[in-house]
Structure 1
Amino acid sequence: MANYLMRRALLEAVRVPAGARSVSELAKVGNREWVGYGYNGQPNYADRPDFPLPAVRFRPDTPDIKILREKEKGDWRKLTLEEKKALYRASFCQTFAEFQAPTGEWKAVVGWGLAIASISVWIYMGMKLFVYSPIPETFSEERQKAQLRRMLDLKVNPVDGLASKWDYENNRWK
């Protein structure tokens, strides 16, 4: 219940009245302009390739930007390239090429994964050398053959087991 009340209070604190969202009367979020619905209807900014229109402008309006916004209402051919870039950077943080560029984060993930795998191998080798006792002598090949021969001599499981697959007259496997 407390979580619900806290969430409601936070939403009411940032929510702009529905009438202020109209095109004729643009709303302000802090000192940034609310320019659209955004990807979830909340006044937040996010560079997203699936929804490239954030709800608010990236930077607040400064006197320089206000002058450029008045200038952009006229002929765009009169704007210089630097002015167009300044207007773009006032509305957006990054271009598509910038926020879709690879970050190289995979290199750190692979590096840490290999480091952890290396440490695991060293721990295994240390356990094998210093902790585990040696393998019992019954694991040697001649001992296993002797155990198999003894099981055949005792006719262990003669109906459908190991002894059923041994030919006792010819002394070989069936």
Structure 2
Amino acid sequence: MLRVALHRVVSHRSVHLTKVRPSMVVGFGGPVQLAENRDPNVNPIFHESLTNPIPDKPRTLKYTGDLATLKEMEVGDWKKLSVEEQMDLYNSYFGTSIADMCRDQDGWKSVLGAGMIFISFGLLLHLFIHLYINPPYVWTTLDEDWVKASIKRQIQSHAGDITGYSSKWDYANNRWK
């Protein structure tokens, strides 16, 4: 399984990072672009997924070398084949197993890590702004005696007769309404 995963990474990387050239292979949407260093015996339009686990076209176009001898041995008794040979034959037919297709991906860990980094940068920015840019808290807003004296001054000066403290003060009885 590790070999299949490594092959997938290397083949995808070679397709995306190398210069591509047009070939004579016709795919579903027209000519298919092949990488120059890609194995010519691998079918470029081979695609398997959970919705199509057994594709119509084979993965390997032409068996050469060890795979040709394995292909001849395939006709005989499979009990004579070793586990590695059976896996090589399986990998010549299919790119991944159903278990590999059903396995959960680990991409959520990267997304979670990136989210945590952005949250930490946001918290550090908030701390920086709070400490160095915003003015310090005014002591008068925290002192209870000062707040009571401010309310008393507002009532005496009739400040906010419609919606302020003065609107809730009964001036005739000298108490709150």
TM-score, normalised relative to structure 1: 0.53
The whole-number CA distance in structure 1 between the counterparts of 2:46 and 2:157 is 80
Question: Counterpart in 1 of 2:6?
Answer: none
Q: Please report how far the alpha carbon of residue 32 of structure 1 lies from its aligned counterpart in structure 2 after TM superposition.
A: 4.1
Q: Please report how far the alpha carbon of residue 89 of structure 1 lies from its aligned counterpart in structure 2 after TM superposition.
A: 0.9
Cα RMSD (Å): 3.9
The whole-number CA distance in structure 2 between the counterparts of 1:135 and 1:148 is 20
Rate the CA distance shift 1:157–1:91 in 2: closer, same or farther, 3 A: same
Q: Please report how far the alpha carbon of residue 90 of structure 1 lies from its aligned counterpart in structure 2 after TM superposition.
A: 1.0
Question: Counterpart in 1 of 2:131?
Answer: 129
Counterpart of 2:122, as a letter, is: S
Tell me, which stretches of 5 or more residues in structure 1 are unaligned? 1-9, 18-29, 35-42
Q: Please report how far the alpha carbon of residue 33 of structure 1 lies from its aligned counterpart in structure 2 after TM superposition.
A: 5.2
Rate the CA distance shift 1:124–1:16 in 2: closer, same or farther, 3 A: closer
Q: Which has the higher strand share?
A: 2
The whole-number CA distance in structure 1 between the counterparts of 2:154 and 2:27 is 85
Counterpart mapping for 1:36-55 below 5 A: 43-45=45-47, 47-54=48-55
Counterpart mapping for 1:118-157 below 5 A: 118-142=120-144, 143-157=146-160
Q: Please report how far the alpha carbon of residue 12 of structure 1 lies from its aligned counterpart in structure 2 after TM superposition.
A: 10
TM-score, normalised relative to structure 2: 0.53
Alignment partner of 1:164: what SS? Answer: helix
CA contact (8 A) 1:32 1:56 kept: no
Question: Counterpart in 1 of 2:101?
Answer: 99
Question: Counterpart in 2 of 1:85?
Answer: 87
CA contact (8 A) 1:60 1:90 kept: no
Alignment partner of 1:107: what SS? Answer: helix
Alignment partner of 1:155: what SS? Answer: coil
The whole-number CA distance in structure 1 between the counterparts of 2:119 and 2:160 is 45
Question: Counterpart in 2 of 1:111?
Answer: 113
Matched-pair identity in %:
24
Alignment partner of 2:118: what SS? Answer: helix
Rate the CA distance shift 1:152–1:16 in 2: closer, same or farther, 3 A: same
Q: 2:170 aligns with which of 164, 167, 172?
A: 167
Rate the CA distance shift 1:70–1:33 in 2: closer, same or farther, 3 A: farther
Tell me, which stretches of 5 or more residues in structure 2 are unaligned? 1-20, 29-39
CA contact (8 A) 2:41 2:63 kept: no
Aligned pairs, number: 139
Counterpart of 1:51, as a letter, is: N
The whole-number CA distance in structure 2 between the counterparts of 1:50 and 1:155 is 77
Q: Please report how far the alpha carbon of residue 170 of structure 1 lies from its aligned counterpart in structure 2 after TM superposition.
A: 4.8
